[in-house]
Chains A and B, each alone.
Chain A
Amino acid sequence: GAVVSQHPSWVICKSGTSVKIECRSLDFQATTMFWYRQFPKQSLMLMATSNEGSKATYEQGVEKDKFLINHASLTLSTLTVTSAHPEDSSFYICSVKRDRGRRVENSPLHFGNGTRLTVT
C-alpha cells in the first residue's frame, strides 16, 4: 500500500487565498522531503528541499515567501501557496526520503500522489 500520503489530491481556490498541501510519511521517519511542481506538458521541477527542524532550501527562482514550507515533525511536511494567483495553478508532488534503517530497498525515495491546484 501507499507509504506516503499527500492531501488534498485536488483543490480549487480563488485568487488571493492561501492553500496548504500536506505530505505525510505513513510508516517511517523522514528527515528530508522534496517538493516538485509540474506545469502542463513540462517536467517536474524541484521547488525546494524540506528539512525537519530547519529552514527549507529553495531552488533558484522559487519565491520563499510565496511557497512556505514547514517540516515540523519527522513524518509531515506542508507546502502553503500564499496569495495564490492563476499562474500558480499546477500539479504539486512531494517526495519523501526514508531515513536510513535496516530495511533494504531499491530506493529510499517515495512519492505522494500529487495535488492538482487550480486558482480561479
Chain B
Amino acid sequence: GNSVTQMEGPVTLSEEAFLTINCTYTATGYPSLFWYVQYPGEGLQLLLKATKADDKGSNKGFEATYRKETTSFHLEKGSVQVSDSAVYFCALSLNDYKLSFGAGTTVTVRA
C-alpha cells in the first residue's frame, strides 16, 4: 500500500536557523509528492509539490526534491522565521486526489 513516514516532532528552532524535516514514502506506482502546512487556526494549505523524479518544489523559501532512488522528499528552509511556526505534513497521491499523509511535524520558531 501507500504510506508516508515523516520526522517526528516537535521541532523547536531559533529564528534564522536551518530547518529540515525528513519524509520518506512507499507507493505502488509513481506518486506525486506534496508538503502541506497548517498554520494555527487555519486549514491545510499546499506549500509545494513535485510530480516526478528529480523535480524540485519550492515556495516561500522552502524546497523539497523528489528523490526516487531514496524514496524521499525532505523539506528544507535555510533561514526560518517566527511566521513559519506551523504543522507540516508530507503527503503523496497517485493522481486521484486522494492523499496519504504523514503524521505531521510541529515546528516552533522562537524569536
Contact = CB atoms under 8 A, between A and B. Distances in A.
Contact of B103 (A36, A41, A109, A113): A41
- Interface SS, A side: strand
Contacts of B97: 32, 34, 95, 97, 108-109
A81 interface: no
Interface string B33-50: 010100001111110010
B43 A6 contact: yes
Contacts, number: 52
Contacts of B88: none
B60 interface: no
A114 B98 contact: no
B46 A107 contact: yes
29 contacts: A2-B43, A4-B43, A6-B43, A32-B97, A34-B97, A34-B98, A34-B99, A41-B103, A43-B4, A43-B100, A43-B102, A44-B89, A45-B101, A46-B99, A49-B98, A93-B44, A95-B97, A95-B99, A106-B46, A106-B49, A107-B34, A107-B46, A108-B97, A109-B99, A110-B43, A111-B44, A113-B41, A113-B43, A114-B43
